[in-house]
A = this chain, B = another copy of it.
Amino acid sequence: MIIRLATTADFDQIWPIFHSIAKAGETYAYERDISQPQAFQLWMVTPRQTYVCEENGQILGTYYLKTNHAGPGSHVCNCGYMVAEAARGRGIASDMCEHSQQVALELGYQAMQFNFVASSNEGAVRLWQKLGFAIVGRLPQAFHHPTMGYIDALVLYKWLKAG
Residues of A within 8 A of B (CB): 22, 25-26, 28-32, 34, 69-76, 110-111, 113, 115-116, 118, 136-146, 150, 153, 155, 157, 159
Contact = CB atoms under 8 A, between A and B. Distances in A.
Copy count, this protein chain: 2
Closest 5 pairs (CB-CB, A-B): A137-B137, A29-B69, A29-B73, A72-B144, A31-B71
B111 A137 contact: no
B113 A142 contact: yes
A139 B116 contact: no
Which of A75, A136, A140: most chain B Cβ within 10 A? A136
Nearest to A153: B73
A72 B140 contact: no
